[in-house]
Each structure stands twice: as structure tokens, then as C-alpha cells.
Amino acid sequence: MTLRPEQVKAKEYLHQKGTVLRAAQVHERVAAAFAAMEAVLDGVTDEEARARPIAGEWSLLEVVDHLVETNRPSLHELRDLLANRRPVDGPIPAGLQSADPASRRYGDLVGQLRAVHMEILGVLARAPEALTEARAPVVMVINVREPDGTEAPMHWIEELDWKAYAVIFRLHELDHLNQARKILKAARAGR
């Protein structure tokens, strides 16, 4: 299978910003992304979190629900990788959400996200320097430019070591951080 240039770039990024970094650097980068997301979520009202100011986009509540629902099983997979076990339930679906995000309280979701962030960071803080042999399948999603000039998401499965896997926490959080900022800006402009 021939890889697209965007796939090659993504694989190289994961190698350079994950696999070859020291464990402490991986921890630090993930922690910074988590802190940035938590700072944006602070002070958001339930009304703002439930608003859908951008047609076709998730509400902020749905973004937080998605992060909670994907980070929980990802934490288990990270633990498996660090114990040199291949996760048995992966890969985690790209658009995973709870059965009914709208029924959840925003404040509770933010609390759950903070708790899972703390657990992930605790695991990363205790992670050994060395890589294990285990790899986890991850659904990679990147936007690519099509021949007609449009942009579309591209999905594929990538097998990742624990450090590259941990970097996915950072990338996923930053992607949704940008989405959250955009949603909040639109919600607050529409008041």
C-alpha cells in the first residue's frame, strides 16, 4: 500500500514527538495539552456548553463527552502497552460518544475529564523510559486535500508504541481544543 504524503508526515511526527522522546518529555507535552483544554473549559456555563452555534458541529458538551468517552478506554490501552500487552478491545472508534450526551451535566463531564486527565498523567509520570514490544492499533484521522481542492478526513489504522500512543492524547486534545475555542467564540458572539 502506498502511503499518502500526509500519512508519511503523521507517522514521522509520531516517531519524532513520541517514540524517540524521553518519557518525561512525553508526559510534559501531554500535560500541557490537558491544562490548555481545562483552562478553556473553566467558567463555561451549562447554557454555553449545550449551545450549537455552528451548524453541523458538536456542542461543547458533546466535545467534552467525546473526550471522556475516548480517554477512558485509551487509558486502559496505555496501561496495557506499558505492561507489554497488546490491547484486546482496540481500536477505539474515532467519533465515540456516550449513548446520550445531552442527558449529561456539563459540570459532571468536566469533572470526569479532569479525573481521567489526572489518571493518564499519573500513569505517564510512572512510565519507564524504555519502549515495550507491545503495539496498539489506533484509528488515525487527518484532514487531507483532495485532487479537486476540497478537504476531507482520511482514516487508517496505525500500530503505535506506548510513547507514540501517548502523543495521540496530546494531538487529540489539541484538535478538540481548537474546536472548543471555535464553538465558544461563536456561542458568545451570538448572545
90-147 pLDDT per residue, tens: 799 988 999 999 999 999 999 999 999 999 999 999 999 999 999 999 999 988 988 8
Domain range list for the chain: 5-189
How does DSSP classify residue 101?
A: G
**Mean pLDDT (the chain, rounded):** 95
pLDDT digits (tens, 9 = 90+) for 27-43: 999 999 999 999 999 99
Please name the fold of domain 5-189. Answer: Four Helix Bundle (Hemerythrin (Met), subunit A) (1.20.120)
Which residue, 123, 105, 31, 120, is CA-closest to 64? 105
Contact 80, 87 (CB under 8 A): yes
Q: What is the pLDDT of residue 191?
A: 67
Q: What is the pLDDT of residue 90?
A: 76
How far apart, in whole angstroms, are the C-alpha atoms of residue 43 and residue 53? 18
Which residue, 129, 144, 122, is CA-closest to 30? 122
How far apart, in whole angstroms, are the C-alpha atoms of residue 33 and residue 18? 14
Backbone angles phi, psi at 23, to 5 degrees: -55, -40
Stated pTM of the model:
0.93
In the block, which residue shows the cell 455552528?
A: 54
